């Protein structure tokens, strides 16, 4: 029987995967279309991407369900497919490991709006959407749930509660920070700093505190955030930094840090005590392969 994720990370750092959205575009998904629907319409393309991550050495793969909540899917008229599409997401990620032990992390992204009183979404609707998605992912056999790219504690708490209630074996809360204009620090769009986020997630019953994406959050900023998390909580830390800083090229945001550039940050992140290391926007199977090599070498040196 496979070692549970939370037990495995006590022994070694696990490697996550890289970006999904950009890989889906490369595979033919058009901007603005529903990538999650591909779990049902083009499962072989989703599988091919995740197989590349598995082959690159990922220990954990996130399901292609970032926008798989009812509220997100409604925008694409796929809200009748919540259960099927999340289930398929877990099954495809599992298949990518081709029988080898690997961890499927059910991915829940933001619902894509603001709740009352700042916006026009009812908290009860958001809660119901997260509950539904988390249940579908856990029932399909996800080893963990990640609530990622979060900027507000209110939304994050609904996601964590949903994962807990669904009986997720491991719950990961992940925030997206933006580096401040003067470059001195980083906080989420809603003004949350890493210390407050980590304390809050622990209080809410998360098992792992994480960060992903954001603006300006490269490997070094991720290291700083990991240290700030570790200063206030004993919970394990996961990071998924972007491939460098965003640049505007032909009216499109691109992240172009190469695997060679990004991999220089792996050792320092491991020394900072990170338990799961993956990557976000702009990263590719080549980045993950470079991470694998660096992590294996780092582990050998530590022996
Ligand atoms: Zn990202």
Q: Are strands 186-187 and 178-179 parallel, antiparallel or unpaired?
A: antiparallel
Tokens 């945001």 correspond to: 253
Q: Report the separation in Å between the CA atom of 242 and the middle of ligand 1, taken as the mean of its atom positions.
A: 6
Q: Report the separation in Å between the CA atom of 277 and the middle of ligand 1, taken as the mean of its atom positions.
A: 14
Report how far residue 247's alpha carbon sits from residue 227's, in angstroms, rounded to the nearest whole number: 27
Q: Report the separation in Å between the CA atom of 1 and the middle of ligand 1, taken as the mean of its atom positions.
A: 33
Q: Report the separation in Å between the CA atom of 136 and the middle of ligand 1, taken as the mean of its atom positions.
A: 24
CB 153 within 8 A of CB 110: no
Report how far residue 97's alpha carbon sits from residue 117's, in angstroms, rounded to the nearest whole number: 44
Q: How do the pLDDT tens digits run along the chain, 303 residues long?
A: 799 999 999 999 999 999 999 899 999 999 899 999 999 999 999 999 999 999 999 999 999 999 999 999 999 999 999 999 999 999 999 999 998 999 999 999 999 999 999 899 999 999 999 999 999 999 999 999 999 999 999 999 999 999 999 999 999 999 999 999 999 999 999 999 999 999 999 999 999 999 999 999 999 999 999 999 999 999 999 999 999 888 888 888 888 899 999 999 999 999 999 999 999 999 999 999 999 999 999 999 877
Q: Report the separation in Å between the CA atom of 300 and the middle of ligand 1, taken as the mean of its atom positions.
A: 30
Q: Report the separation in Å between the CA atom of 172 and the middle of ligand 1, taken as the mean of its atom positions.
A: 16
Tokens 């049902």 correspond to: 40
Q: Report the separation in Å between the CA atom of 148 and the middle of ligand 1, taken as the mean of its atom positions.
A: 10
What per-residue confidence (pLDDT) applies to 96? 98
E strands in the chain:
14-15, 60-62, 103-108, 144-150, 171-175, 178-179, 186-187, 208-212, 237-240, 246-249, 252-255, 276-277
Q: Report the separation in Å between the CA atom of 6 and the middle of ligand 1, taken as the mean of its atom positions.
A: 24
- 57-68 as b/e: b if 16+ CB within 10 A: bbbbbbbbbbbb
Contacts 24+ apart (CB under 8 A), 264-267: 264/219, 265/218, 265/219, 265/220, 265/222, 265/223, 265/241, 266/219, 266/291, 266/294, 266/295, 266/298, 267/294, 267/298
What are the pLDDT digits (tens) for 150-170?
A: 999 999 999 999 999 999 999
Q: Report the separation in Å between the CA atom of 271 and the middle of ligand 1, taken as the mean of its atom positions.
A: 23
Report how far residue 233's alpha carbon sits from residue 239's, in angstroms, rounded to the nearest whole number: 15
What are the pLDDT digits (tens) for 229-286?
A: 999 999 999 999 999 888 888 888 888 899 999 999 999 999 999 999 999 999 999 9
Average pLDDT, the chain: 96
């Amino acid at each position: 029987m496979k070692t549970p994720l939370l037990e495995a990370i006590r022994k070694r750092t696990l490697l996550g995967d890289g970006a999904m959205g950009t890989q889906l575009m490369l595979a033919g998904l058009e901007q603005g279309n529903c990538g999650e629907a591909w779990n049902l319409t083009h499962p072989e393309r989703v599988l091919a991407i995740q197989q590349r991550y598995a082959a690159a050495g990922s220990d954990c793969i996130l399901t292609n369900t970032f926008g798989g909540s009812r509220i997100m899917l409604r925008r694409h008229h796929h809200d009748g497919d919540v259960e099927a599409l999340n289930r398929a997401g877990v099954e495809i990620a599992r298949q990518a490991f081709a029988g080898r032990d690997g961890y499927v992390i059910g991915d829940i992204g933001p619902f894509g709006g603001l709740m009352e009183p700042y916006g026009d979404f009812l908290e009860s609707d958001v809660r119901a959407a997260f509950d539904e998605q988390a249940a579908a992912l856990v029932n399909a056999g996800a080893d963990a749930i990640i609530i990622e790219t979060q900027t507000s504690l209110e939304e994050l708490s609904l996601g964590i509660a949903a994962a807990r209630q669904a009986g997720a074996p491991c719950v990961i809360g992940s925030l997206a920070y933006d580096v401040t204009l003067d470059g001195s620090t980083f906080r989420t769009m809603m003004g949350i700093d890493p210390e407050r986020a980590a304390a809050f997630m622990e209080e809410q019953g998360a098992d792992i505190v994480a960060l992903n994406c954001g603006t300006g959050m490269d490997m070094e900023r991720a290291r700083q955030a990991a240290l700030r998390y570790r200063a206030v909580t004993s919970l394990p830390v996961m990071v998924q930094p972007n491939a460098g800083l965003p640049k505007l090229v032909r009216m499109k945001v691109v992240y172009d840090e190469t695997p060679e550039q990004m991999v220089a940050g792996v050792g320092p992140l491991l020394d900072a005590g990170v338990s799961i290391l993956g990557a976000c926007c702009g990263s590719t199977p080549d980045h993950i392969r470079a991470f694998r090599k660096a992590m294996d070498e780092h582990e050998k040196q530590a022996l």
